[in-house]
Amino acid sequence: MPDSLSVAEDNVVRDLRGTQAAAKGFDAPDASSAQLLSVLRQVPGFFCFLRCPDDVVALTNDAFRQLTGGRAITDLALDETPLARWPGFQERLDQARSGTAPSGPLRVAIHSQADPKSTVEEQFVEFSFQPVWGGSRTLLGVAVHGSDVTEHVRREQELNASNEQAEAILEVLGDGFVAFDEEFRVIKLNPAALRYDGRRADEIIGKIQWEAWPTSAGSALEVAYRKCLAEQVQVSLERRYLGFGKDRWLELRACPVPGGIVSFYRDITERKASEEALRASEERFRALVEAVPHQVWEAGSDGSVEWSNGRLPEYLGTTLDDLGNGAWERIVHPDDYPVVLQAWRQALQDGTVFESEIRLSRARDRTYRWFLSKAVPVRDPAESVIRWIGTNTDIMIGRWPRRNWPI
């Protein structure tokens, strides 16, 4: 602490010693000017006092001088200091003098550097402005106190950036998105949701789910949404949407979020149509293979029979599960079994067409009949065998004279 004060500092101290606000900082009314200055300099945060009416910087603490890059600004007029370039500082100072200053603080982004070669530092400070009155309501000046809110601002910026990114993603997301509060009131939709629905946002936002989409009331969708909110779990379902000129299938996924739930959904109408077409095609195929007079079967890539038409188990008197448990050795003629087994294993290994004439035991009378057994491999786009389609065709009639069947 210096033994003597500058003219500006001495004036400030003398002015402030007589005020009620300053008196609160002393143990005795005759405290020295140096003691008062020490108190003011130790005010937490950033502190300065601008003397009126000439707006001269009369006092700063060490922390405040850091905001000006360590530059001493005491005894300088405001417009001679960096403070004049801080956005809103001069305006708020004028408002404080006139008694019209807003109640909230002024946030300023301050850029400073210790020397021309050092890195420019950005610091966010919130300033409050308090007029200081002397006797006879004479305005002595304005005390300015600042708090460092850089870390808080950084967190706000990161959160805002994250929110903006999320908003941008939702805007271009191909999936529909609807956000609900805890009362299932619609609070947000993205463009994809509006395209699916066919209405404007103002026709939906603010309405309860069951009001916005009446057909969902009492449906599986309502059950799913209520479960999502009550149990705080994610739920998924597929739902046919009929309404507002739309007829489409949607795949929905609802997720709990603070204050409500969000629902993502995509149009799966084409997929459903494809599935239905495939199902119809499979039904036609099953009907066809049941109508043909042959035994038709399908095996996995390992050669185990996984499906057949009704003629195969009817003839063999066994189930597909039994065929995987060694029943073939009992069903195929003993003289044919080793040859057929070797040929089948070779076809599986090479991925080539299997073809062999074999005798199979007929369950109803335990007699053997000759069959032409043939199987072709089915491959995926990578040319790997994924399954086999096979047939067993009865060749007894027409191959040998009736009395010369080699059974």
pLDDT at 374: 96
Which residue from 78, 69, 118 is spatially nearest to 96, judged by alpha carbons? 78
The CATH fold assigned to 173-271 is Beta-Lactamase (3.30.450)
Helices 33-41 + 7-17 axis angle, to 10: 100
pLDDT at site 26: 32
Report d(CA 327, CA 68) in Å as an integer.
94
Contacts of 71 (CB under 8 A, 6+ apart): 65, 82
Beta bridge partners of 377: 388
Residue 272 to residue 249: CA distance in whole angstroms: 7
Residues 6+ apart with CB under 8 A from 20: none
User: According to the model, what pLDDT value does residue 354 have?
Assistant: 96
Cα–Cα distance for residue pair 297/389, rounded to 1 Å: 6
Tell me, what's the pLDDT at 37?
A: 66
Instruction: Say yes or no: domain 40-171 is CATH 3.30.450.20.
Output: yes
Question: CATH assignment of 292-394?
Answer: 3.30.450.20
Nearest 5°: the CA angle 335, 337, 343 is 120
User: For residues 145 and 47, is the Cβ–Cβ distance under 8 A?
Assistant: yes
Domain assignments of the chain as residue spans, ordered by start: 40-171, 173-271, 292-394
- Both tokens of 291, joined, read 């109508």
pLDDT value of position 275: 85
**pLDDT digits (tens), the chain, 407 positions:** 343 334 444 455 455 544 444 433 333 334 455 666 676 677 778 998 999 888 899 888 888 888 888 888 989 999 999 999 999 999 999 999 888 888 889 999 988 776 677 777 888 999 999 998 887 788 889 999 999 999 988 888 877 776 666 666 566 566 888 999 999 999 988 888 888 788 899 999 999 999 998 888 888 999 999 999 999 999 999 888 765 556 788 889 999 999 999 998 888 888 888 888 888 888 888 888 888 889 999 999 999 888 888 899 999 988 888 777 777 888 899 999 999 999 999 999 999 999 999 999 999 999 999 999 999 999 998 999 999 999 999 998 766 555 455 55
- Distance linking the first and last C-alpha atoms of the chain: 122
Cis preceding linkage at 53, omega within 30? yes
Rounded CA-CA distance 12/42 in Å is: 16
